[in-house]
Amino acid sequence: MRTGSASGGGGRLAAVAVVVVLGLLGAGFLLGQLTGGRDPVAKRDSPAPDRPSRARLAPPPARMPPPLPPREQPVSGPNHPPLPAEQGGPFGSRFTTGTPEVALTFDDGPHPQWTPQVLTMLADYGVKATFCLVGTKAAKYPQLVRDIAAAGHTLCNHSWDHDMALGMRDEQAVLADLERANAAIRAAVPGARISYFRQPGGFWSKRVVEAAHRLGMTSLHWRVDPQDWDSSPAYRIASDVNSQTVPGAIVLLHDGGGDRRSTLAALRTILPHLLTRFHLAALPPGRDAPRESESADSDARGGGNRWFPN
């Protein structure tokens, strides 16, 4: 009797175990169906893969703003930057384009992992932007500088080594820093026109704005900063840019200086969204002053500098 009882109890335990296992398997299957096969605790804003697939990009929007009239490039050169100082910007730096066009700008590059992916996305949507290059990075990755220029984007000086205290240094030190960064960019792209300067961190001073002006560069601030430099999630970067951008805004983004997977993921939303509302354009690099005969012909035709009113 004792043996039979033990045997019966063991059978009942085995049956209970089978029921429990089947129940767990069924619950797992049901959970998998409800979550679409994804990890139920996975983060929604997990970083994008290093090499985004073009198939994941939304197509360019079918409905776009009506075209703007053609505009001439402004004359620029030493002591004659392409855009004038702007009231409201720190020490006269620009925070708008001065036209209805919106300018996307990318700081802290070039970077061998992130910059090529940004260039690919911009090309897919037919968008030109402005790249603010750090001199040390330009010297290290000259081919990326050439790729940026060859794609028709505007070049901007972002100091030699991202010195956020540059504006506090004496005039000669500031000039030397900006000239060194320009030299690194032009070593990669001989004769490149570098018509903009952006102070690292936005820590502007009168001295650094005046030095940039002396070298023919407009000081470039921004109107929209989604703080993508601070590891913000992609959805927040996209939401800030899409909700804060207005006609004429200069938008600050980054293609270097850290892990930029969130920025890349956000661009997949930003680009098609903004293109339905605005014209996205690179800031004008400017052009050399025409020779006397060219100037006379232009005046006779009623031409002139129609870019960016004061």
| Rg of the chain in Å (alpha carbons) | 27
Classify strands 194-197 and 103-109 as parallel, antiparallel or unpaired.
unpaired
pLDDT digits (tens, 9 = 90+) for 255-272: 999 999 999 999 999 999
Please state, in angstroms and as integers, the Cα–Cα distance from residue 201 to each residue in 20, 91, 142, following that order.
Answer: 59, 15, 24
Residue-wise pLDDT for 165-209, tens only, equals 999 999 999 999 999 999 999 999 999 999 999 999 999 999 999
Query: CA-CA distance, 133 to 186, in Å (whole number)?
Result: 11
CATH number of 95-287: 3.20.20.370
User: Whole-angstrom Cα distance, residue 253 to residue 267?
Assistant: 10
Q: Given 153, 158, 254, 279, which residue is catalytic?
A: 254
What does the buried/exposed string (b/e) look like for 252-264 if buried means 16 or more CB atoms within 10 Å of the residue's CB? bbbbbbeebbbbb
Active-site residue, selected from the candidate residues 107, 108, 228, 255: 107
Q: Is 279 a catalytic residue?
A: no
Say whether 80 is catalytic: no
Q: Decide the pairing of beta strands 154-157 and 194-197.
A: parallel
The residue to which tokens 């004061």 are assigned? 310
Model pLDDT, residue 76: 84
Residues of the chain below pLDDT 70: 1-72, 291-310
